[in-house]
Amino acid sequence: MTVGDANLEPFYPDLVGLGVESALDQGALLWREGDPGDSVVLLLSGMLEVVNEANEGEEVVLRTLEPGAVVGELATDGQGRSATVRACAPCRILRIPAAEFRGLLRRRPEVLEALYWLQVDRVRSLTRQVTRTHQRAITDPLTRLYNFGFFRQRLEIEVERARETGDPVSLVLFDIDHFKKYNDTYGHEEGNVVLVTVAQILKGVGRRGDILARYGGEEFVALLYGASEEEALHFGESVRKGVEAHAFKPATPDGGPPRHVTISAGCASFPHHAEADEDLIRSADVNLYRAKESGRNRVLGMA
């Protein structure tokens, strides 16, 4: 097993000479999180999984370990186990007492180097996994914009930051015009194409650092830190023109001419039109309603 620039296989004979072999049935615990770190285990066959307990008792599998893996080496300094390890298949393991393992590391520093690269590889893998999990948690799966929950968290943070710095913060709330009729006429798959395309147009207009989110259904929102109402209106107008100009091609070649949709938007800015995050959303929503009531396909700010 190659890890980084190191290979643990040459050291297996040294490890085998220090340990005692035993078996684990599928589902059996090797140890629990917090147990004493009194041994190191070399997995000879089978598969182990490293699990951690998340909120409300839910378990998260951090990684799986295949034959040749050495596990538990970081807990041989008297600290408790950092995670639970369980057999996810029948296993053969070699259990090495912590004192014997530390003695091996003193005699063979190259083993310590190999284990160092092993930990580097594990940390990189775990970092990638956490990043992917976090991204899924804050992203709308259809449009790949941020979801409503993340938007609300960031809005509260950005308004508080603006309150301290004196910077403006603007919101632009969008709603696709007559979207239900479009969905009913052409089907939900075609409706999803519209939602994804509008999201792409938003991304194309947005600046680096803008929070662009799906607000719900056919509504979208842009959180523009440092943008004045005039800049927010310009942003909204650019999105409106982009949506209006886009030709949505029918799914089948004989489906008729390209289709067009329009979008309406309402803008509001902190601190000029609102004193708190909730007020900012309410003001943008009022302006969106005005845009709808006055004919749609337009962007309105405060009257």
Catalytic residue positions, numbered: 218
Q: Are 104 and 111 in contact (CB under 8 A)?
A: yes
Q: Give CA–CA dist 187/127, Å, rounded.
A: 40
Find, among 119, 124, 18, the residue nearest to 74 by Cα. 119
Could you tell me the two tokens for 9?
């296989």
Q: Give CA–CA dist 187/136, Å, rounded.
A: 27
Q: Which residue has the tokens 């999803």?
A: 192
Q: H or E element: which one contains 14?
A: helix 12-16
Q: Give CA–CA dist 60/65, Å, rounded.
A: 15
Phi, psi of 216, deg, nearest 5: 145, 135
Q: Give CA–CA dist 23/210, Å, rounded.
A: 55
| Interacting residues of 62 by C-beta distance below 8 A, sequence separation 6+ | 50, 51, 52, 83, 126, 129
| DSSP state string for 34-83 | T-B--EEEEEEES-EEEEEE-GGG-EEEEEEE-TT-EESGGGTTSPBPSS
Could you tell me the two tokens for 1?
């097993």
